[in-house]
Amino acid sequence: MDVYQSRAGSRPSTTTPRRQALNACDACRSRKTKCDEAKPSCGRCARLQLTCSYVETIASKKSLSLVELTSTLTRMEQKIDILVSRNPRSEGSHNANHTGNQSSTSVYPNTINADLFSTSGQSPRIPMDTYFARSNFEFPHHPGELALSERHSTAPQHLLLWPCSAVKLSKTDLNYPISLEIKRQRLPRTVGSFLPSTHDGNWLSHLSLRQLRHLAQLYFSHFHPPYLVIDETHFYNHHFITAFRDEFQHGVDSVISLLVLSLGAIAAIHTRSKDWMQAESQVDQENFALSLFNLALQVFEQAEAVDWASVQCCLLIGTFYASKLITYESWKAIHRACSTILILLPLQDVLDAHQCQLYWVTYLHESQILAEFDFPPSGLGTYANTVPLPLVPDSSQDSDREYQFFFLAHIAMRRLLNRIHFHIFSRKQENNVPAHANSTPALECEKLLYTTQSVISELDRQLEEWRECLPSTLQFPSYSMSQLPDEMEPRQFRDTRERLKGNLMARYFAAKFIIHRSFVYRALHRGPTSPLSEEEKLGAQISTNCAILAVCYSGLLHEPMELLLHPINSCRSFYALGLQAAFILRAGDPFELALPNLGQFIQGHKDRMAAHAAPFSPTVARDLEILDELFQ
């Protein structure tokens, strides 16, 4: 059941955000009335027996999904700013002593000013090619909004500061993820010969063009769709052919090609594809992938420059390390890309579409790492308000356009997550939390008691609007109890479209989990004289259920760990769920916040991660140790 239909007295269930007709008929357009765009005759014209005709003056719905997504996000930002600026303190008095019959405690209040939800000021929609032709396009700037410049307090280890936690760590010990990552052993840097017939040093030249192209295709099937670092056509027509002629020994084209091949070899290992190898070959695939990668690093030492091609190299290097769960090395490569972009941006008056895309790819890579680890930010986020969103205008394949929409949806989600973090975990420090709440880590958690209810409702509504603006091929239903899994066995490997859709669903549920986290805190730390309202109980249940759904759709039960998008983030999403589940179960499951089989669900995922992630990540290994302590 949709959360907005879950309690009496809320807005009518039939209310949906108004949508401007994308291609209204002439009669409706002349009278400026809503048109359902039905053909051959719209509903209004059929009812009034009018002649109904259309003029295709606006881009198709599929093309406009992007503009709708971005213009909607801009309206979201304006609404939440108005909400906070109009009433920054009125709900700050809410605390653990409030009773459930007070209307101010409603999770989904119907008292928010109607103009906050009005679309009358909606930005006009324009065709995508016109939209992205504006090289000086800027997003509205919101001073103080988190843009990768502050610590993310939503990292799962910070849940151990909750008073109900049976595992107590000092503020220094809470930094164990970054401490463990910087001390871990590096990958071997040797470049070996793995082809039995090879006696000279250039073993790679003994692979046929067909074999190499097959490895490259594995990269474009598994790593390209969610990352979009390089254009496939340009790779084959330029990078690959140049590197092949040079026997992969010099220049940035060889580096890019070797990195693509190394990632393709990883995909070959985990999809059990051996079509690229000769029948008699005894190639050690794991070492072969590593040798390709190390050879790329060797060539890159001489080929690196301050240019966009080097940015691509750094992103691919970071992706390789990320697939191996080597977070520190991945961060170093991404940080290197960020530094290069920070040099390039002031030197260019105009960015082409692919350069804009590389900026946003790098921004997303860095934000994903900084959300879980307290590495220093590069400052790349300071340009997020000025760099246009990417669009490769002449994409000839529908799949490429679908990948673009997926990528743009991730950008919109990243900006929304920044706002969620800011308004729930940062901004309230200025307005609602007593001064003493900053005195100790434990008291700092009490800020969750002062989360403004109307802001939670508005952020949740914005999340739903983000979901509704997704293209039809990536659409999925809103949260409901019926989506909770009945089983936890590994499922069939998903095709590319299902993987992309599943990743968006995981991000959606993770965001909803964070938005409603304060209600779980209130349920676990309520006083004897402060019962939760029904709305607060609902919010706590939503948080727990969405944490489960985020794990289910992340791919942990479907794809090999190495092929997940940002695999360390999926592992740590499970850790956050595990911590919250442990707190709930140890407290006797107040208000039935957890599913009956939650403990079994956690144990099943723990076993999977202990086998496939913990041996390669000291952070995951330590996370599992803490969960073992909590579930004893």
pLDDT score at 473:
85
Beta-carbon contacts of 357 under 8 Å, excluding residues fewer than 6 positions away, are: 228, 390, 392, 407
Per-residue confidence band for 362, with pLDDT thresholds at 50, 70 and 90: very high
Asked whether residue 505 carries a pLDDT value surpassing 50, the answer given is yes
Q: Please state whether the peptide bond connecting residue 40 to the residue before it is cis, i.e. omega within 30 degrees of 0.
A: yes
pLDDT score at 577:
93
CA distance 381 to 363: 7
In a domain, 46, yes or no: yes
Q: Please, are residues 316 and 219 in contact by the beta-carbon 8 Å criterion?
A: no
pLDDT score at 556:
86
Average pLDDT score over residue span 170-196:
83
Asked whether residue 306 carries a pLDDT value surpassing 90, the answer given is yes
CA distance 375 to 488: 34
In a domain, 43, yes or no: yes
Asked whether residue 15 carries a pLDDT value surpassing 50, the answer given is no
pLDDT score at 566:
92
Torsion (CA) 562, 563, 566, 568 in degrees, nearest 10:
-30
Asked whether residue 326 carries a pLDDT value surpassing 80, the answer given is yes
In a domain, 119, yes or no: no
Q: Considering only 68-82, 183-197, 355-369, which range has the smallest mean pLDDT?
A: 68-82
Our CA angle for 562, 262, 552, nearest 5°, is 15
Beta-carbon contacts of 258 under 8 Å, excluding residues fewer than 6 positions away, are: 243, 248, 292, 293, 295, 296, 299
Q: Please, are residues 460 and 388 in contact by the beta-carbon 8 Å criterion?
A: no
In a domain, 37, yes or no: yes
pLDDT score at 207:
78
CA distance 409 to 411: 5
Tokens 């900006």 -> residue: 415
In a domain, 44, yes or no: yes
Asked whether residue 487 carries a pLDDT value surpassing 80, the answer given is no
pLDDT score at 445:
65
In a domain, 36, yes or no: yes
- For residue 590, the 8-state DSSP code is G
What is the residue type of 65?
A: S
**CA dihedral (401, 406, 409, 411) positive or negative:** negative
Per-residue confidence band for 367, with pLDDT thresholds at 50, 70 and 90: very high
**Higher pLDDT among residues 402 and 293, named by residue:** 293
CA distance 39 to 51: 12
CATH assignment of the domain containing 45: 4.10.240.10
In a domain, 48, yes or no: yes
CA distance 325 to 568: 6
Average pLDDT score over residue span 510-514:
94
Question: Among residues of the chain, what percentage have pLDDT more than 70?
Answer: 69
In a domain, 29, yes or no: yes
106-125 pLDDT tens trace: 333 322 222 322 233 333 33
Q: How many CB atoms lie within 10 A of CB 282?
A: 9
Q: Considering only 195-199, 492-496, 617-621, which range has the smallest mean pLDDT?
A: 195-199
| pTM as predicted | 0.77
Tokens 């879980």 -> residue: 372
* Euclidean distance between the first and the last CA atom of the chain, given in angstroms as a whole number: 35
**CA dihedral (216, 221, 223, 229) positive or negative:** positive
Domain count, the chain: 1
The secondary structure of the chain in percent helix, strand, coil, rounded to multiples of 5, reads 60, 0, 40
pLDDT score at 342:
96
Asked whether residue 582 carries a pLDDT value surpassing 60, the answer given is yes
DSSP string, 126-178: --HHHHHT-TT--PPP-TT--SSSS--TTSGGGGGGSTT-SS---TTGGGHHH
Q: Is 11 helix (H, G, I), strand (E, B) or coil?
A: coil
Over its C-alpha atoms, the chain yields an Rg (Å, rounded) of 26
Q: Which domain holds residue 27?
A: 23-57
**Higher pLDDT among residues 581 and 314, named by residue:** 314
Q: Please, are residues 561 and 478 in contact by the beta-carbon 8 Å criterion?
A: no
Residue whose C-alpha is closest to residue 423's, from 49, 13, 145: 145
Tokens 């979009």 -> residue: 228
